[in-house]
Chain A
Amino acid sequence: MKSTPIRDSLAVSNGWKYAPLMLNLVARDLKKKYRASFLGYAWCVLNPLLIMIIMTIVFSRMFSHSIENYPIYFFTGRMMYVFVTSGAGAVMKSLVGNAALMRKTRVPYYMFPFSAFLTALVDFLFNLVAFAIVMLFTGTPVNYRIIAFPSVILQASLFTFGFGLLLAIANIYFRDIQYLYAAFTTAWMYLTPLFYPLTSLPEGIQGIIQRWNPLYFFVEQTRSIFLDRLWPNNITMIKGYAVGLIFMALGLILYNRVKKNMMLYL
């Protein structure tokens, strides 16, 4: 007779037993997001295109002297920003949001943050399709250095999941976190050169952003690859991996610490 699976170890101790459920949870989230609309999944691609077009109309003239290829400049920034902030936001809500399910069934807890992250990753892939369309339309060439891009996605993924997990746990104890987060991401958007050039900021602030804003690491590398067609700066890349691994480690350590008593607060 087999013994019961250990409910909430982060080690994927049951091998691939829960993989189909994971995929099902991802499919559920995507379905719920787009099912009600007339165009359905087309919105995954259309939405970023529309936003890019609006931003280009509004800002491209303003920054025309400093940014050459505004659509790509904006798109690269926004796509990394959306991946990190909406991904971490989805992970943040995943534990509290699935509390009803966690209280009544024996699904391992880690399924929820992880499937929320995977959903964000799928959204990001849709975004990449829109990005490819923009690249084609603007006639922006690519070279072989595009092979460095998966490494940027990996860094951003580590950071997003780790950061989201920290927020998710904090959110169990203080539900205020999810409201603060909305304000936080707005501030983060303005503190990252997404739609304006970094050089338009005062020099002191430029230095702070270059050194301390993790999102900037990912955006900067992406732009090196697609705008300058160069390898990402080594130091920026190391910083990107470092911040990703640190947040991932912190998230996992905290998760392992609280998982035993989490249910009492959910």
Chain B
Amino acid sequence: MPQPIIELDHVTVRYNLSRQKNKGLKEYMKAMARRELKFQEFIAINDVSLTIQPGESWGFIGTNGAGKSTLLKTITGILRPYKGTVRVAGSIAPLLELGAGFDQELTGRENIMMNGLILGMSVKEIYSRFDEIVDFSELENFLDVPVKNYSSGMKSRLGFSIATSARADILIADEVLATGDTAFQAKCEARMAELLDGGTTLLFVSHNMASVQNLCEKTLWLEHGIYQASGPTEEMLAAYADYLERMARDEDLYLSEDEEDENDLPLDDDWAAEETEPAESPLSPVGTDNQPEEAKA
């Protein structure tokens, strides 16, 4: 048995809900005076254990809010487990969000350098792989345009190209293909399959079950931060599909009895929105959908 590349041992991750932060001095003083200064916690991951061997490909599935992204952030080292331990024996190239690590004001060219450095590449490596990155992203003509003018499809192309050229031991991809068009999605899947052949370990979150099926041998299923099941992808997807169907049926039942319990049901609207996210043309006119990073932060 080879040494696992990732080992999660009874990991629990706790969030501080946003009500507490950004509170400001006045509110803080008031709360302190009233002795209400409590940590409003939210358990995002509850006692999850997982062992991943080098070269494996894992899919992560579950409805919105299941804790998939939190789990990947914990593996990446961005979040610390509240309880339990995370052991990672290898370099990681995380792709946790569309355009994460891009500076909106800088051009595509400058962002390749910046993002490459953030991913731990050396300046020399970035220069030597520059053409490869540009070729794959198909953004030759937009290299000197600030990233704020890129469409979301263009950002995901660039982000994916940089992250996959980092040649890390572990590639983490969190729902990053959703905004690419079908052709680019296929290209990305091919690239990931190629990396897998080369021995890279892949952690892949997607609501696109076909992609999970194509790429991942094994799958972990989470709901509400709680481990549901893990194993061969096919079995997991079947169980998950059953679960979704059951939830949908239960919801119908609830609705007809007019006693809907909003806490227990997956947010169906969100789910639908995720599924039908429009694939954008990568060559759409610049400046159409720039979302400044500040606004999201």
Contact = CB atoms under 8 A, between A and B. Distances in A.
Interface of A: 1-5, 7, 17-18, 20-21, 24-25, 28, 31-32, 35, 99-107, 173-177, 260, 263-266
Interface string B69-110: 000010011111000000011111010110011010110001
Contacts of A105: 78, 94, 96, 100-101, 118-119
Contacts of B103: 28, 32
Per CB-CB distance, the 3 closest pairs between chain A and chain B, nearest first, are A104-B100, A21-B117, A264-B16
A212 B144 CA distance: 50
Contacts of A21: 114, 117-118
B223 interface: no
A146 B79 CA distance: 49
A61 B20 CA distance: 54
B24 interface: yes
Given A18-B117, A103-B78, A104-B78, 13 more contacts: A3-B89, A4-B91, A20-B123, A28-B106, A99-B297, A100-B293, A101-B101, A105-B94, A176-B24, A176-B25, A263-B79, A264-B16, A266-B21
B142 interface: no
Given A1-B90, A99-B297, A265-B16, A104 B96 contact: yes
Contacts of B97: 104
A4 B297 contact: no
B113 A174 contact: no
Contacts of B92: 4, 106
Q: Which DSSP category, helix, strand, loop or mixed, fits chain B's interface?
A: loop
Contacts of B169: 1
A2 B96 CA distance: 22
B114 A7 contact: no
Interface in B251-297: 293-294, 296-297
A206 B5 CA distance: 64
A35 B22 CA distance: 32
Contacts of A176: 24-26
A103 B100 CA distance: 9
B182 interface: no
B292 to A, nearest CB: 10
B94 A106 contact: yes
Given A1-B169, A24-B114, A105-B101, A100 B297 contact: yes
Nearest to B101: A105
Contacts of A99: 297
